[in-house]
Structure 1
Amino acid sequence: MSSLWAEAIAVLPPKLEDIHLEFNKIVNESLVFLLKQTAALLYEGQDIAKCLQLSQTIIDFSWERLNIGTWRDVDKEWRRVFSYGCLFKAVCLCKKESAVREAIKTCDKGLLMGMAILDNILIRLVKVLQNHNNPKKRALEDVGFHQNSSQKRLQVAVPCIKEIQAGMEVPRIHCPSLEHFRAQYLIPHKPVILQGIVDHWPAVRDSKWSVEYIHEIAGCRTVPVELGSRYTDDEWSQTLMTVGEFIDKYILHQEEGNPIGYLAQHQLFEQVDVDQPDLVNFPEFESAEFQECILSPGDVLFIPVSYWHYVRSLDVSFSVSFWWS
């Protein structure tokens, strides 16, 4: 028995009875029976090929249900079914060490499109899988990624930035108290740049974040990617791909004319193009009041709720967003 299979099985509940495959009436009984049959085969550990086949059937059927109508109208039970299908398939794939990356991709799809099941078991399983997916060995196999990246310099067209007008810059404060931040910025709905509050993050403290580092630790993970220069473009779309695919296609090769995805301009106004505003149809935009700033590594920009904002990346960069009420 391979160590990967043993570790994957250990992530599952100890007994088959601990997996409660109960759903509301929207999930027909024949599919529930199929789920239970697949789970039983998995725990027996014998006919894994059959288990894998049934898992894929569950995924395919529930995937169709997830893509009928708008996302908000999808019943959560179908998302649970999809997650169980992904779980069963991912564990089955652990029988072969060579299928680790496919198993990781399956877990990620369950995490993105499904729902949390069995105390976030997919997150725990993917951690096991990543430990068996040797990042250094994988990086060398990925079409000479490190060789290519060391020879290529990321060519980013940095736009000309005019000086920030006096009195228009977003204020900066260093490590304010919660009381001061709440009274002076949160309640009055005023933007502010907070400095020093994430200096303890390894990404800031150790300067770890780079294209090569992200590719090494997360190149195999599947993520949603937004394609296009701005949300208002007709070509704007979303797709799923691995972090490695995104880096190779939209970062290393962006000089070939591909959009930069997360890293390109993001337009959050409904109709106005901030770079080239249509002042004929939107004449009031020219006199609109605004504030502006340039963020440096480690800066945190607080944007008040319902505040229109426009963000442009001046270089290849990484950012993290938080929302709270």
Structure 2
Amino acid sequence: MAAPGGAEGPAGPAAGPAAGGALWAEVRALLPGAEEGLTLALSGEVEDCVLPLLRRARGLLYGEAGRPCGAAAAALRRLGDVLRDYSWEKLNAGPWRERVRTDPPPVPVVQPEVALPRVRCPSLEHFRDNYLIPQKPVVLEGIIDHWPCMKKWSVDYFCQVAGCRTVPVELGTRYTDEEWSQKLMTVSDFINQYIVNENTVGYLAQHQLFDQIPELKEDISIPDYCCLGEGEEDDITINAWFGPEGTISPLHQDPQQNFLAQVFGRKYIRLYSPQDSENLYPHESQILHNTSQVDVEDPDLVKFPNFRKAAFQSCILMPGQVLFIPVKYWHYVRSLDISFSVSFWWS
């Protein structure tokens, strides 16, 4: 089927009557012998206006002694154009991910040469000298094992303590997609529609959740390493990130230091140094200047050839691990499971 406005094929008017007759003979051989045999059984999702058009086209097909010609052939071509354009609009309008959710790509294999270093419970001095001052990312282990949330939090628990709360939910796989939008709904509705129902994608990204629900805030604590920053504790922004498998944060950078703590589920994360910014093709628009145009796991190297020059580090962040993302470090995140993370932005 050609797109609207597409060029006519070799069987079109330019091919001449002989070619047109041969084509019609082939088409006619595929049709039932009688008009009644060409049934028009449509699903309930097809709009009512389509059926009369198809009936009219069927009548034209079987009129004129079995071969449409003259005015009948012209009318049939016009009907074909209308139905083709209608189908094209329906296929290319609206958020596809609300209709079908494709299987996510497989879990990436993190090669040793690009794996982020992991350190268990480093001292403040060790973290400061080896990671904070030189601005090097690292996975910290053992520093949130004492958090009550590590034993308490689950999808059911959130329904119990926060189900009636109204929160903004991001709809779509990633915020750079055209169909991405936001919607206010209760936490219970969010869980039922986007966590339990695996055919759609929605993501809860909230920096006020812990202020609204004291029970949740009591289950976490600010990492001790934040005391090495220049700001006060009240200046630290705490964010909640809750969503299904397959949710993506496109490659982007933030203006503050970040501790990303994984409570449950896994996340695949890639990081690129700010020194590689030119190779990452940031959007030119002011609103998305901190976001790369490149699809990290499926890059268009014809359009973005220098992306292959950018070196990266990666990890699969597991429950109980905390990733230190230095300020302005580019990072890409894909949820591998139903996932809940807590991030701390600090200066």
Query: Structure 2-normalised TM-score?
Result: 0.46
The structure where strand makes up a greater share of residues is 2
Q: RCO greater where, 1 or 2, for CA within 8 Å and sep 6 or more?
A: 2
Instruction: Tell me which structure has the larger Cα radius of gyration.
Output: 2
- Give the structure with the higher percent helix: 1
